[in-house]
């Protein structure tokens, strides 16, 4: 299991602990993961409620969680549902979110007015999102869209597939070197690319560069050794120094906070163009608001960047009349890059790890720092 060194098990959970799972997946999809937790915690009572308000099938509808369950629950596993206040669930000692971030609940009273530990599923999205990033970059670099359009017209347009750029020697700038960025780096290095990392705070020592979050085994950059250089800061000066490095592929993977809202706007796109006249390709898998969308459209139209791959937009869903749809050299997907058939299984692994750490009195993995916002 990911998440670092195995912790010693001291004692067990108290009798009568209740894990309440309010999740959008069908119960049968989660049974094996729940069984693994029950094997490790035989005295733990588990109740599963399907949150059909977040379901992606025909069963979509409001979720009804019995009051007596969340009044008794000690641990809550959820994607988005929460009791109205902390006092409504007086026994809750841990809330495990099955999402990568917590920005969707940062105005909720449990976030603002309680000290209940909140943890996320950060770390489980690296493999599938890294594949999305590389896929989109290859589609763009190998002119696949143009060739597919030719295929639909039954044209043998060989010339359209000639002017391509392979990955060797290109530079990838990862803005937000967390679990997703680290897996992008791993794949990019395997393809012969140079990697630059950008983090909110400086990482001057080997220990500071380590990934202390949940890690899908065999993925990522656990010791932080892949980047050839690191940049940092939540100020424009640090960001601009990073963007001056002639980046060919810019991967945006920062959490959405007050500081990162419109982190990339007109000045940043102009700087990218100045440092790389061939054009930086921008891939955003964080949140749409990190980019000033109007400035992005202008940058695409002015060819300040070579293109953009966007799995997130501002707003979502993107209205059908939004000009972003018709911007040149843009590829848009409907916030699906993190989807995977292994999603719920990996998220339960994070929960399982935190239950073990809670039992051992250890530090939780992926605990949210409410002041930082992630």
Domain regions of the chain by residue span = 18-124+340-360, 126-332
| Contact call for residues 284 and 316 (beta carbons, < 8 A) | no
H/E stretch holding 172: strand 171-175
Distance from C-alpha of 337 to C-alpha of 339, rounded to nearest angstrom:
6
Q: In the prediction, which pLDDT does 54 show?
A: 65
**Which pLDDT score, from 0 to 100, does residue 321 have?**
98
Average pLDDT, 10 consecutive residues per value, the chain (374 residues): 41 70 96 98 97 67 91 97 97 96 93 97 97 98 95 96 94 97 98 98 97 95 98 95 98 94 98 97 98 98 98 98 98 97 97 97 96 88
- Could you tell me which CATH number the domain at 18-124+340-360 has? 3.40.50.720
pLDDT at 56: 59
| CB-count exposure of residue 362 (10 Å: 0-12, 13-18, 19+) | middle
Domains 18-124+340-360 and 126-332 share a fold: yes
pLDDT at residue 15 in the model = 54
| Joined tokens for residue 208 | 């500071």
Prior bond of 211 cis (ω within 30°): no
CATH 3.40.50.720 fits 126-332, yes or no: yes
């Amino acid at each position: 299991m990911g998440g670092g060194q195995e912790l010693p098990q001291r004692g067990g959970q108290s009798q009568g602990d209740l894990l309440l799972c309010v999740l959008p997946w069908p119960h049968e999809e989660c049974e094996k993961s729940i069984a693994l937790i029950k094997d490790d915690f035989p005295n733990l009572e588990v109740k599963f409620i399907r949150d059909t308000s977040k379901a992606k099938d025909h069963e979509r509808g409001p979720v009804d969680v019995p009051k007596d369950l969340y009044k008794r629950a000690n641990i809550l596993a959820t994607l988005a549902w929460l009791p109205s206040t902390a006092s409504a669930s007086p026994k809750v000692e841990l809330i495990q979110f099955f999402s990568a971030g917590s920005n969707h609940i940062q105005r909720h009273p449990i976030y603002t007015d309680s000290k209940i530990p909140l943890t996320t599923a950060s770390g489980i999205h690296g493999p599938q999102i890294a594949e999305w990033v590389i896929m989109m970059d290859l589609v763009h670099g190998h002119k696949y869209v143009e060739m597919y359009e030719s295929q639909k017209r039954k044209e043998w347009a060989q010339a359209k597939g000639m002017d391509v750029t392979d990955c060797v020697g290109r530079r990838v700038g990862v803005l937000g070197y967390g679990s997703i960025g680290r897996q992008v780096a791993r794949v990019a290095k395997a393809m012969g690319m140079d990697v630059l990392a950008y983090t909110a705070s400086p990482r001057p020592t080997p220990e500071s560069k380590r990934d202390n979050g949940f890690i899908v085994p065999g993925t990522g950059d656990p010791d932080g050794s892949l980047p050839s250089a690191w940049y940092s800061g939540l100020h424009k000066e640090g960001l601009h120094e990073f963007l001056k490095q002639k980046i060919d592929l810019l991967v945006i993977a920062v959490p959405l906070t007050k500081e990162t809202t419109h982190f990339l706007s007109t000045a940043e796109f102009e700087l990218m163009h100045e440092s790389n006249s061939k054009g930086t390709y921008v891939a955003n898998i964080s949140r749409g608001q990190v980019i000033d969308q109007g400035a992005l459209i202008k940058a695409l139209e002015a060819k300040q960047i070579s293109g953009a791959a966007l799995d997130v937009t501002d707003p979502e869903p993107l209205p059908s009349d939004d000009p972003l749809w018709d911007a040149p050299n843009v590829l848009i997907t409907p916030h699906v890059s993190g989807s995977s058939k292994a999603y719920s299984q990996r998220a339960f692994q994070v929960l399982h790890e935190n239950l073990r750490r809670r039992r051992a009195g250890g530090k939780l993995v992926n605990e949210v720092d409410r002041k930082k916002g992630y």
